[in-house]
A and B are shown apart, each in its own frame.
Chain A
């Protein structure tokens, strides 16, 4: 069987398990349950349940690649084909300018990466709680883990499609500059920009089940509102400073500009006021998402 498993005396493992210590109460009890109590220990609990988080993320990822028969190929094909269409429509037929001298395809794909991540995080997170209803109504754990692991799955797709970017860059013979090193920072930004709205929508989706019909539309709409198929410097040029600031209220504008700045090198100049505005909006959505999720979370088990 499994060579590494050696049967131990049964009680040993249980003693090693972590316990929750509650200082405010009589020392002899480990856990106190009362109204509003889960509030206080929440973030501590989240840390305690990190192992469950890993394993749920692992489950989501492995099921995702087991279930679709073309598995990994699907994660590669989807952004690639979208990029191809956008390059043809916007770059060739409409002859829109790229950022500087960068090939249009690379410019589109640099935006496609964070956008695909954002949209798949949003749609899989929003379904995650309802899809795990049996867990939520049977076992306690901080519910943030569920949409969290759905977003990590989207991150796995992101990493896989990153391979295509490298391939396209190789095809065009486009060498990345030093700015490429900063890319992880923008990945983090994309993660946070996805987390906020995802949590908000996830919680809404538990309460209002027909909300799920709105999500595909939002994702579709967002694709055209965000500078994915075209360069945002073109947008800036057409809109002028003030209107472009308004445009930057979309947090994905900042994320996409950041990605292009890092990947396309000297071809891109970031409009800093717009970028910081996107950052602020990202922060706002993150707070809103977490607060609203935390507020509704307690009643999930009752209403799901």
Chain B
């Protein structure tokens, strides 16, 4: 085999027992106890079998039948210094793949061989403790991310400078502003020096200045001859940062090639698929978006939008009551370029309710004069200033059938390449003759 292959994945598969997934992940002892009373010996045996998922909580006949393959027969290789973008919609297996590569979960079959140290930025600030000072958290977080004490010491000043927290080093991080918190967390992570860096959606965090820093740091890593696996919904970032791409669909490799080809393949496949209202949207760790519907003025669910009328989204979500959660919506055109952002927190100062439960609300947006064509909306819940929680790519698609503010026959089409919405004059122009 080639000497410069650093990751070699062969026939990788990961299956979950359907019932052991999120919704019913752990069992109540009282249920098991009730069943044990019925058939004591069988249950004791299954209890001791332990890891074979949730046998304790299942009736026997169910245990073999329903396996969900999050990944199946995935094979690829990554060469030293390659920056590979892993693309795919929610539930395609990206996170599972990253979890296996960073050894958080074991594959069900197949194998992965890795050369060098892998560090993952699955979520910045993992293991930060609010009571500890900035200084203490740097050491704690560094150790959790796999740095040795000596290594952290040698990077300490760089991290502090990067995060701009010199004055607050001995303050507990619970007193930090969210911006400082994120900068410090990313600072530690960015100063890891792994041979292979796994990045998942961290660039979506923080202000523009900080994002620039992060992207700069990532390209530094890439230029240093190290390998980067990059998972993002931000196609522009994937395009500018990666050299090769891997498209996952339903747990399988659908395409692999250069990053431009991969993005093309991905956008084409997204556009050819239908709206998919019934698909499994997955879930986040604090929140789950259950349903997104586009409504017309009368409150009826529709699949097209009339330019110039309010854009009404009805969003049903579940929250565990965590503070400072927000919902964002991105409007994308048919090439999946982001056109516009709506944000509960950033633009309206509204957070999601602090009581756990399932809620529904209407996001009534100002009228847009969209060009005719196909659009989609990415909907995400987010932890304010720290990252996405439940990101649903292409949560809803809609069409604009015809677009002309005056109702004239000339149709302003998205495909003309003149842009995606019309800029209308606020007042009719008045011509004043000056010469």
Contact = CB atoms under 8 A, between A and B. Distances in A.
B106 A37 contact: yes
B114 A5 contact: no
A7 interface: yes
B150 A16 contact: yes
A63 B127 CA distance: 13
Interface string A9-40: 01111101111000001101111111111100
B346 interface: no
Nearest to B30: A210
A31 B53 CA distance: 26
A38 B112 CA distance: 12
B27 interface: yes
A70 interface: no
Q: Report, as a range, how many residues of chain B touch the other chain.
A: 35 or more
Contacts of B106: 33-38, 298
Given A296-B50, A303-B53, A304-B25, 11 more contacts: A5-B157, A10-B224, A13-B147, A16-B150, A26-B1, A33-B112, A138-B120, A140-B103, A208-B32, A292-B48, A304-B26
A206 interface: yes
Contacts of A209: 26, 28-29
Contact of A2 (B20, B103, B126, B156): B156
Interface of A: 1-2, 4-8, 10-14, 16-19, 25-26, 28-38, 51-52, 55-56, 59, 62-63, 66-67, 134-140, 203, 206-211, 214, 292, 295-299, 301-304
Contacts of B99: 301
Nearest to A36: B106
A34 B10 CA distance: 10
B166 interface: yes
Interface stretch (B136-144, B241-249, B264-272): B136-144
Contacts of B116: 19, 30
Given A1-B157, A51-B143, A59-B140, A134 B27 contact: no
A6 B157 CA distance: 8
A138 B123 contact: yes
Contacts of A8: 154
Contacts of B122: 138-139
A293 to B, nearest CB: 9
A30 to B, nearest CB: 6
Interface string B129-156: 1011001100110011111111101111
A62 B136 contact: yes
B393 interface: no
A4 B155 CA distance: 11
Interface of B: 1, 3, 8, 16, 20, 25-30, 32, 48-51, 53-54, 56, 99-118, 120, 122-123, 126-127, 129, 131-132, 135-136, 139-140, 143-151, 153-158, 160, 166, 169, 193-195, 224, 285
Contact of A296 (B51, B120, B127, B158): B51
A9 to B, nearest CB: 9
A63 B151 contact: no
B110 A210 contact: no
Nearest to B21: A302
Nearest to B7: A29
B69 to A, nearest CB: 14
Contacts of A138: 104, 120, 122-123, 126
Nearest to B195: A14
B227 to A, nearest CB: 13
9 contacts: A5-B153, A10-B155, A18-B148, A35-B108, A37-B106, A55-B143, A63-B129, A207-B26, A208-B28
B107 A29 contact: no
A304 B155 CA distance: 33
Contact of A32 (B111, B132, B148): B111
B115 A30 contact: yes
Contact of A7 (B100, B144, B154, B166): B154
Contacts of A13: 147-148, 150-151, 154-155, 193
A2 B156 CA distance: 8
Contacts of B151: 13-14, 16-17
A298 B50 CA distance: 10
A137 B122 CA distance: 10
B114 A1 contact: no
Contact of B29 (A11, A208, A297): A208
Nearest to A5: B156
A303 B25 contact: yes
Contacts of B108: 35
Given A11-B193, A33-B100, A208-B32, A28 B26 contact: no
A214 B28 CA distance: 12
Nearest to A11: B193
B193 A135 contact: no
A139 B145 contact: yes
Contacts of B120: 138-139
Contact of A55 (B103, B140, B169): B140
Given A7-B157, A62-B136, A140-B103, A29 B26 contact: no
A297 B50 CA distance: 9
A201 to B, nearest CB: 12
A299 B53 contact: yes
Contacts of A37: 106, 111
Contact of A1 (B50, B136, B160): B160
> Which residue, of B8, B99, B127, has the highest number of chain A Cβ atoms within 10 A?
B127
